[in-house]
Structure 1
């Protein structure tokens, strides 16, 4: 996860969305956002272990674990 907000806000979101098992990245300068052409906070890009984009879209916080869980299995 790469958030534009402060680290504390990112930790709050991770707890709320139950995403603690996934790597988190503080992206306050927006470097990752620019790289993946993110346009809003509710957009997500999921990369596999090799860095290939395997999912992209608008984040429904309740469904994000379903999008991310297959990456843990791989």
Structure 2
């Protein structure tokens, strides 16, 4: 997931990629989580129940080069 810099005139964009060959299996969960991120909602309950944490899927997590 990527978010542009504050000064970027383009609105934030979310990109879900690199799901590899298991993408067909993980796409429903990725879609649900992406929708929550876009809307500023917490991690969906079904995903939180299996250990997904907000900091694990944040577009601002270390190593992505994204900015707030």
Question: Could you state the TM-score of these two structures normalised by the residue count of structure 2?
Answer: 0.26
In proportion to residue count, which structure has more strand?
Answer: 1
Q: Which has the larger radius of gyration?
A: 2
Give the number of the structure with larger relative contact order, counting CA–CA contacts within 8 Å between residues 6 or more apart: 2
